[in-house]
Amino acid sequence: MSTEALDPRYLGLDLWPTETAVEAMLEGQMAAIAAIQSQTAAIARAAEAAAARLDQGGRLVFTGAGTSGRLAVQDGTELLPTFGWPMERMVFLMAGGIGALTEAREGAEDDVAAGQAEIVACGIGPSDVVIGVAASGRTPYTVAAITQARAAGALTIAIANNPATALLEAAEHAVIAVTGSEVVAGSTRMKAGTAQKAVLNLLSTAIMIRLGLVYKGRMVAMRISNAKLLQRGRRMVQDIAGVEADVAARALETAANDIRLGVIVATGISAEEARALLEDHRGSLRAVFRTLEERQ
């Protein structure tokens, strides 16, 4: 596998001046991002297909082992605070269990039966989206989970760093970032990991956009959990609704800090009607405004 190959250019890495070594590693990180350029269409197709499934009420499922699994879980956990994606519609399947997030359990990646059983135990079905991540593209646990999920009718997406591998073949949608050998041989937490995180960021954000959770470039479904985010939420309501700061603050308070609801309330609509509009349009603020414009 190219991700585990030894690059002769770096055989003396441990003897280099530290700054030179850091520069070499940085070049590797930049190359990792460049490796994604050819995959934008594949990421877009996967995101659109995923949004269509999730629009039916399904769950986002992230699965992987080791570094790849931890990166997948990290990306998923950011969706609640960033886009308001509910945790009850999120599933994390990590080889070795959630404890493997902080303590490496590398042997767990070979457990095919566990990968299959956990998909079955979670009741994964046709409305769900399962994203599997593996640098090698052949991790038995992850391949088994994706294969089982696809057999159950779920939409499956694979992210890998080696071409023509079992994981990519098992999934309905495949995203491959060929990052090649690492500066430190076998350390896929570096180039491969960087590319994986970037792909996950692009994919999950594109899904949220297609689900209507972004409006005019703003995270209007963001969860307000501190004073800084409260101020940001008030500014969003003020800018989008085109009202004064005090009106925006009152509207957001009436909306119990739900930014989308606050925007609609700030336009003069009651909280009850605003809530019904959002529910009818599955949380899409743009769709709500389109309906309101048609009324005029």
pLDDT tens, 147-205? 999 999 999 999 999 999 999 999 999 999 999 988 888 778 889 999 999 999 999 99
154: left (phi over 0), alpha (psi -120 to 50) or beta: beta
> What's the number of CA atoms in the CB half-sphere (13 Å) around residue 195?
33
- For the chain, give the percent of residues with pLDDT over 70: 98
Do 19 and 179 form a contact (C-beta atoms < 8 A)? no
Catalytic annotation, residues: 78, 109
Give dist(CA 251, CA 231) in Å, integer. 13
pLDDT digits over 114-126, tens only? 999 999 999 999 9
- For the chain, give the percent of residues with pLDDT over 90: 87
pLDDT band, very low/low/confident/very high, at 1 (cuts 50, 70, 90): low
Number of H helices, E strands in the chain: 13, 5
Is residue 296 scored above 80 in pLDDT?
Answer: no
Interacting residues of 58 by C-beta distance below 8 A, sequence separation 6+: 89, 125, 126, 127, 128, 129, 154
Domains of the chain with CATH codes:
2-210 (3.40.50.10490), 227-295 (1.10.8.1080)
Residue 238 per-residue DSSP state: H
CB < 8 Å & 24+ apart, contacts of 157-160:
157/46, 157/50, 157/129, 157/130, 157/131, 157/132, 157/203, 158/131, 158/132, 158/133, 158/134, 159/68, 159/131, 159/132, 159/133, 159/134, 159/196, 159/199, 159/200, 159/203, 160/133, 160/134, 160/135, 160/136
pLDDT at residue 265, as a whole number: 97
pLDDT at residue 294, as a whole number: 86
pLDDT digits over 38-94, tens only? 999 999 999 999 999 999 999 999 999 999 999 999 999 999 999 999 999 999 999
Q: State the residue for tokens 């999950």.
A: 204
Task: Write down the pTM of the prediction.
Answer: 0.93
